[in-house]
Amino acid sequence: MSGPTAQLRVWGVLPDRYADRKVAASTVDAAGRMVALLVAPWVTCSERGAASGPYAATVVVVDGDDITEVALPELDLRFPKVDVLGDGFVLVAARCRMPAGPAVRTVTELEAQIPHNGRVVDADGSTRITFHAGDGIEQLVTDPAGAIWISYFDEASVCAPQLATRDPTKPPHRMTMPLPGLIRWTATGDPAWYATQDGYSNPSGWVDCYALNVGAGRVWAYPYPGFPLVEIDQRGIRCVRRTSVRSASGVIVADDRVAFIASQGHGPEAAGSYLVTFARIIDGPVETATTTPLLLPTGQRPTTRARRTVCRDNRMWMQFDDERTWYTLDIQ
């Protein structure tokens, strides 16, 4: 892409053979493959107020002409999200019921109350482990090294093990952490890093992680309320840079070049009116250069808000009203 244009192109379309299935979750993995969690049309796992209960689902991975299907006959995750993890998958429920009522006396009692709304499954669909991923999940994205990155919105909380040094003779201690913002989990479902406990964390807090970019060597986050661009590696936060862009839902990065994708305005009349702001990372704040409308391959603006957005390094993928089609935009 060159110049002040931001025109999406079609990345891929779910094959017609799945036209009779409903898309409960979808993403694009680190290898650029389309991943979809498909259910029967009558399954209500992604609807508010719907009845709960296990349901049959199928994970489909589309890699050009190669298609892989993995059956999950007894899935019980509400508002599910999915991504590839090694030769299997990780799934989470975006909403779960957190422990409530009288305080418990032992860690064993607490563990029994904590919902395990995360699941790692093998390539054959068998469950490897389950874990507590927290309530109020915004995005689930895995990286090539096998880490699980989960971002959270402003109603989120998680029952988190303390990562600080503790007496090894005492049992692990859990705390209810409100507004966790962003957590990196291991492939075995253990928290490895909390944004809010990083010594170089965002001074404005992590009320809501508006945008997340999980790249091959870096992760970039864009949290509310300050909307800084936060650069993260496996050791933690490297740098927090101020930006003038507000409420972006996507951010893509190529060396010192950045693009923020943000909805223009609020309300039904603004649906689909996205602006792309191009900027550069200099010494200090992110310096914006130019802003242009986000366009479909037809040259028209989208008519609906994005259903899903995935950002990895210099590329972003988006879905709109047709949740079987992924579009992409990249910067060089």
Q: How confident is the model at residue 227, as a pLDDT? A: 95
3 state SS for the chain: CCCCCCECEEEEECCHHHCCCEEEEEEECCCCCEEEEEECCCCCCCCCCCCCCCEEEEEEEEECCEEEEEEEEEECCCCEEEEEECCEEEEEECCCCCCCCCCCCCHHHHHHHCCCCEEEECCCCCEEEEECCCEEEEEEEECCCCCEEEEEEEEEEEEEECCCCCCCCCCCCEEEEECCCEEEECCCCCEEEEHHHCCCCCCCCCCEEEEEEECCCCEEEEEECCCCEEEEECCEEEEEECCCCCCEEEEEEECCEEEEEEECCCCHHHCCCEEEEEEEECCCCEEEEEEEECECCCCCCCCCCCCEEEEECCEEEEECCCCCEEEEEECC
Structural domains of the chain sorted by starting position, each given as residue range(s) with its CATH number in brackets = 16-250 (2.120.10)
pTM over 0.85: yes
pLDDT per residue of the chain (332 residues) written in tens, 0 to 9? 445 689 999 999 999 999 999 999 999 999 999 999 999 999 999 888 766 789 999 999 999 999 999 999 999 999 999 999 999 999 999 999 887 765 556 667 767 788 999 999 999 999 999 999 999 999 999 999 999 999 999 999 998 776 544 555 555 567 788 999 999 999 999 999 999 989 887 667 899 999 999 999 999 999 999 999 999 998 999 999 999 999 999 999 999 999 999 998 776 667 889 999 999 998 888 999 999 999 999 999 999 999 999 999 999 999 999 999 999 999 98
